[in-house]
């Protein structure tokens, strides 16, 4: 039975490789870092070493060099297996530094096993080892610099994407904030303008489906679309005679037309209509029936499912405002309207955060549930209790500015990645500070990672310098996070979370809030809702 030593700082990758090899009868040993692999190899020499390249203490190239320099380990075949260093120059350096083989992830399991068996049978097939220290250091520096340059380009592209996403989010927030001052036509006009902006389109429209479910009512076209159009429209027409722009209402889900048949395009369109070369539309469904259509068109690049999600959020946000207005007209409660609009904004933002980080889906709502209970337990007024719950729903909105590959990364984060994640509190403050809430929502979100003893972030506030709402949110956030699964660890028990709160009451957490939390769970039978 061959003894294989795996070294990789990602626990998930080690687990997958170990599972594959053990299923084939190999004896597998693991190391998390290259230095640990060297120590384990000297203690018990393996038959084969399989190593990642990108690791924190010593990368795979340096490990090859050290492995071949060790008289005990030098005869052992070495396979580098990486998803990060994928260039031809990277492969050449690995082989010249002493690797017997170099594979880029992902590799089909059968091919990987064949490579491993060949290395074991032949005892390796090295062609390297002739590099002196100067040549190795020079080439290693060049490979690392090239990788850094690639990552910087990727990071810049990611930052640009996040900037565009933040602009879209701010537009959505503005739509809700200004809704009270807009009549229905102006709201529809703002909606199609936002739809154009969010999808980089040059045409947009909004239609209603009348109560009979069979008649389409044209509400508004975007200004750019209407300016280029010379057609005369009927304000109402049957759904079954509508063109491809109403397909989404007929099928009940978003539709994308990146290649449009000219015959289908002319169907249902009057003479003089603006030319459409790409098109996407989403329906709003209520009680199983389509009630509204929001569509866009004429983008240079093809539309994607991600674009459809953005458009759906805008459409459903506008419809929720329209629906509330109808209810407000019946009740004539203007203040209820303003409150409902703000809550809808919070709900939309919370949904966007969950879409961004699916591994924490339900986190904000569970934290809000516990925060409301804690706020009641420490004696806050009914109004303050609701404010705490609202802040909890958007406390992680700043994560929209964090790269998704960091949010969903399995295994431990690097120190730099942890610092990037820590910026989410201030990013959330920047997003929320211009909202028109009459109470300090942005400050509560900013402070929810501050700690009672001043050890938190971002400003190192301590004690009662931290807002009480943020102190409540801090405890609720820790309890829910510890009890829930994350990409880098399984969920722990509520008992473990309560032990953390009890052990650090008066140190990390407000002692009064900590005591209220323990009382809720241990004496009053409180339970977190299902995710």
Bridge partners, residue 49, by sequence = 5, 78
- Check whether 42 has a pLDDT greater than 90: yes
> Looking at the structure, do residues 484 and 473 belong to the same domain, yes or no?
yes
Domain final residue pick, 312, 331, 350: 331
The range of the structural domain enclosing residue 236 comes to 183-331
User: Are residues 95 and 8 part of one domain?
Assistant: yes
- Domain-embedded: residue 346: yes
pLDDT at 123: 73
273 and 318 part of one domain: yes
Measured distance CA(356)–CA(394) in Å, rounded: 13
Judge if 492 and 359 occupy the same domain. yes
The predicted pLDDT at position 345 comes to 57
257-266, 337-346, 429-438, 516-525: the lowest-pLDDT one: 337-346
What pLDDT is recorded for position 399?
A: 81
The phi and psi torsions of 207 (rounded to 5 degrees) equal -125, 150
Percent of all residues in the chain with a pLDDT value above 70, rounded to a whole number: 74
Per residue in 472-498, pLDDT (tens digit) is 999 999 999 888 765 545 557 899 999
- Are residue 238 and residue 127 in the same domain, yes or no? no
Alpha carbon of residue 95 to chain centroid: 37
pLDDT band at 188 (very low <50, low <70, confident <90, very high): confident
Stretch 319-346: mean pLDDT, rounded?
61
pLDDT (average), residues 248-275: 71
On whether residue 164 sits in a domain, the answer given is no
Into how many domains does the chain fold? 3
CATH number assigned to the domain comprising residue 413: 1.10.3210.10
Pick the last residue of a domain from 120, 147, 174.
147
Mean pLDDT across the chain, nearest whole number?
80
Same domain? For 300 and 351 the reply is no
Does residue 178 lie in a domain region? Answer: no
Is 160 a domain residue? no
Average of per-residue pLDDT across 124-129: 54
Q: What pLDDT sits at residue 484? A: 79
Please tell me whether residues 442 and 343 are part of one structural domain.
yes
392-427: b (≥16 Cβ within 10 Å) or e: bbbbbbbbbbbbeebbebebeeeeebeebbbbbbbb
Q: Does 496 reside within a domain?
A: yes
Phi, psi for 3 (deg, rounded to 5): -105, 115
Predicted local distance difference test score (pLDDT) of residue 524: 93
Confidence of residue 121 (pLDDT cuts 50, 70, 90): confident
Answer for the pair 64, 101: CB distance below 8 angstroms, yes or no. no
Which of 311, 331, 351 is where one domain is finished? 331
| pLDDT exceeds cutoff 80 at 134 | no
Residue 334 confidence (pLDDT): 42
Question: Is 55 a member of any domain?
Answer: yes
Per residue in 97-120, pLDDT (tens digit) is: 888 888 888 888 889 899 899 888
pLDDT in tens, 365-396: 889 999 999 999 999 999 899 999 989 988 88
CATH label of the domain that carries residue 121: 3.40.50.2300
Considering the domain architecture, whether residues 99 and 198 belong to the same structural domain is answered as: no
Q: What is the pLDDT of residues 167-179, one digit of tens each?
A: 666 666 666 667 6
Give pLDDT, residue 83: 77
Residue 340 and residue 473 in one domain: yes
User: What own/partner pairs with CB < 8 Å and gap ≥ 24 does 350-358 have?
Assistant: 350/393, 350/394, 350/397, 351/313, 352/169, 352/313, 352/397, 352/400, 353/394, 353/396, 353/397, 353/399, 353/400, 355/309, 356/399, 356/400, 356/404, 356/407, 357/396, 357/399, 357/404, 357/407, 357/408, 358/408
Asked, for residue 173, whether it belongs to a domain, the answer is no
pLDDT score, position 346: 56
Do residues 481 and 338 share a domain? yes
Q: Are residue 337 and residue 325 in the same domain, yes or no?
A: no
Per-residue pLDDT tens digits for 137-166: 767 666 666 666 566 666 676 666 666 666
Q: Output the pTM of the full model.
A: 0.40
**Residue 153 falls inside a structural domain:** no
**Do residues 339 and 443 both lie within one domain?**
yes
């Amino acid at each position: 039975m061959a003894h294989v030593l795996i070294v990789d700082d990602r626990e998930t990758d080690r687990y997958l490789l170990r599972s594959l090899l053990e299923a084939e009868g190999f004896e597998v040993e693991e190391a998390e870092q290259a230095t640990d692999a060297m120590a384990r190899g000297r203690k018990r020499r393996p038959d084969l070493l399989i190593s990642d390249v990108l690791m924190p203490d010593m990368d795979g190239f340096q490990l090859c060099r050290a492995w071949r320099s060790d008289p005990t380990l030098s005869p052992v075949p070495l396979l580098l297996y990486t998803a990060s260093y994928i260039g031809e120059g990277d492969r050449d350096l690995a082989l010249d530094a002493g690797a017997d083989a170099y594979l880029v992830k992902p590799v089909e399991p059968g091919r990987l096993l064949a490579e491993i068996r060949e290395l074991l049978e032949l005892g390796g097939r090295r062609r390297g080892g002739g590099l002196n220290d100067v040549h190795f250091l020079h080439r290693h520096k060049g490979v690392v610099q090239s990788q850094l340059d690639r990552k910087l380009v990727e990071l810049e592209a990611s930052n640009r994407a996040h900037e565009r996403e933040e602009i879209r989010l701010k537009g959505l927030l503005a739509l809700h904030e200004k809704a009270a001052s807009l009549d229905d036509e102006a709201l529809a006009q703002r909606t199609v303008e936002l739809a154009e902006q969010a999808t980089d389109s040059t045409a947009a429209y909004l239609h209603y489906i009348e109560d009979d479910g069979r008649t389409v009512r044209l509400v508004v076209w975007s200004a750019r679309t209407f300016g280029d159009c010379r057609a005369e429209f009927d304000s109402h027409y049957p759904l079954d005679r509508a063109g491809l722009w109403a397909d989404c209402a007929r099928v009940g889900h978003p539709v994308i037309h990146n290649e449009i048949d000219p015959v289908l395009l002319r169907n249902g369109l009057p003479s003089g209509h603006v030319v459409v070369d790409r098109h996407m539309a989403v329906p709003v469904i209520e009680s199983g029936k389509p009630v509204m259509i929001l569509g866009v068109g004429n983008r240079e690049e093809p539309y994607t499912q991600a674009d459809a999600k953005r458009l759906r959020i805008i459409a459903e946000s506008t419809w929720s405002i329209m629906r509330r207005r109808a209810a407000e007209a019946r009740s004539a409660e203007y203040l209820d309207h303003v409150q409902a609009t703000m809550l809808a904004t919070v709900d939309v933002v919370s949904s966007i955060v969950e879409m961004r980080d699916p591994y924490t889906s339900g986190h904000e709502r569970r934290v809000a549930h516990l925060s409301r209970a804690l706020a009641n337990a420490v004696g806050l007024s009914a109004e303050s209790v609701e404010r705490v719950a609202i802040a909890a729903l958007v406390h992680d909105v700043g994560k929209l500015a964090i790269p998704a590959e960091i949010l969903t990364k399995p295994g431990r984060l690097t120190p730099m990645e942890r610092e990037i994640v820590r910026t989410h509190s201030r990013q959330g403050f920047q997003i929320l500070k211009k909202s028109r809430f009459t109470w300090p929502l942005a400050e509560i979100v900013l402070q929810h990672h501050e700690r009672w003893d001043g050890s938190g972030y971002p400003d190192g506030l301590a004690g009662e310098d931290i807002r009480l709402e943020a102190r409540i949110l801090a405890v609720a956030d820790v309890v829910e996070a510890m009890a829930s699964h994350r990409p880098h660890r399984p969920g722990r028990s509520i008992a473990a979370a309560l032990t953390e709160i009890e052990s650090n009451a008066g140190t990390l957490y407000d002692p009064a809030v900590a005591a209220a939390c323990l009382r809720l769970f241990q004496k009053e039978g409180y339970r977190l809702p299902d995710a």
